Structure 1
């Protein structure tokens, strides 16, 4: 049987991961930990005690007695040796010329001549720190003191677990509040998005039923009804797609496609919208070699279409939207550039969440349920690609869809 031996680096990485999971570093003092440090000092008859956590390059004290500094360099502390074992580390006679003397902030500390530390062990056996006691004179612990120090170290870990569970419960309660808020916002937004086209359809249907429209008015009314019906259908499709976000990855029907071809087709769908808004929509040209991708045509085309639609929708009259296809090494990308309102840096992550929209969209009542970008990003990620937003380019936005490039085999 082959036995795998864990390297020191791997063991240290796992130990630091366990420490980070408790979320205790650099937190404020807490009575439960302060009491344990005081008990350790009283038990062992020392003037100095602390609950220390050994970080990458420092030893940080969650609780301390007789130690004025909250942290000290790791390589100068005996606690860094304690976490290498599972038993109490005792140094009865620390050399009088300790290494702390070389650390200026520690210049005023008393000379440590005795150290004992019980490792703080997780359930998996990783030592994240120590419960240590120190003195200014050489000495030894009694068996009862060593046992008591170990027991108190166990209590520190119990408090850490209680603290973590409390934090997790608080986070879960916060998530529930966020979900409830999102549900309320979703219902409000979807209700509005459904009511607007339905109201329009009903109004025009009443006019049609009245029989008072001439031929031109009849044709225009039917056109409006058709447009609003398509808007409703698109909204329902988006809501269904959004309900699948976070679930199992969709099954993709992949083939080799020219990305320029897909981008031109997707962008061309919005030419009428762009004309109606007075926006210049520039499609990818046919120059240069094609950038090929192995992709689900429907999903990628839809993703590109959503990005172009957003760009046109947020353009002022006279604005411009450029759709380009670029090949960059092992990535083929569609870049949609506009000169619209831009996306503030603090909103980039927000607008990629379902049903979340930026301040500008809310303030100017731009139609939409906040699903375009999240659904586009999900489709791209399903292809092992990435969707990035650069909204800090001086009053515009660049949205890039990057996909793994496909190189056709030469005949």
Structure 2
């Protein structure tokens, strides 16, 4: 008997679980296994047809071998079927670590009593089997070609079947990775939902006492018994300043947690959304503010685009250079990938060594002269860019300053609106 060659750390009793990880349903009712991906099923059917045609034999199948059964997930010339592992021809050789070619199975001691050879199930004579070994060394089953009559494929033809077997494995590996990605995406969505729920609850629970404290601070500041110069005024100012800063932090955390939720993408005007974002900051576009915007149409979630522009404009206002009048240019560039929205200013800029850290949540650069902040503005912009299929990019502006851009990908858009 051939020596068994098995994949790393996969016990024979764990075969069924490992096979399920590849999107294959062994089935509890004895039925044929189901592929999770319809495209994968079509690809495997084409591969087995090609294998049979290449070798001039009528039958070809992809067998998945569980701990107790052989299940055919694709077949040419026969209908996919299920049999016990004890009756399977491939189960006897698929772990041998090499291709098995048998000119006449009725003369081979390994198969002479097999029901697929004796006529109980079939009367196989020519038989060839190629193991389906994954990149991790786990053998899922076999690509098998066979005939009830004689056949003499050449070594080159058998070599081509081995190539097709590797393609079968590639299809199954792709399905495996797709399932892993789907699981990771589902976990990410669950995590984001929990983050949003937690942030909303904490924000609500903390906002009420904070607003109450700030309300009493304002009442105390207006108390006629507390005149200018009274020592309590300084303490009230500290309390009010700290409370307002905490409220801003709560709002920023809540805003950050809500990004990556359900996108409501629609056609929006960059100029219109920029005007709204600037208005939220108490400024207007034009010569007086130093902020200009070139209009463009893009597909984006208008709320998230406004949030991104508001954060970037706020940074330009907060980190302006004391040596020159502020100038901020909001623009857009249309590419095959999507629309890249950029905000370029002539402020103090961000050093190349600090650009990676600048987009991390709750990280502040703490440079001399910097305005106070929570360290969530650029991190929120990064999440908005990711939610729209793009990236946030930080570069220097010629002459000084920072140019921050975000790609809004076409991939989530209707083909009709692509350039």
User: With structure 2 as the length reference, what TM-score do the two structures score?
Assistant: 0.41
User: With structure 1 as the length reference, what TM-score do the two structures score?
Assistant: 0.42
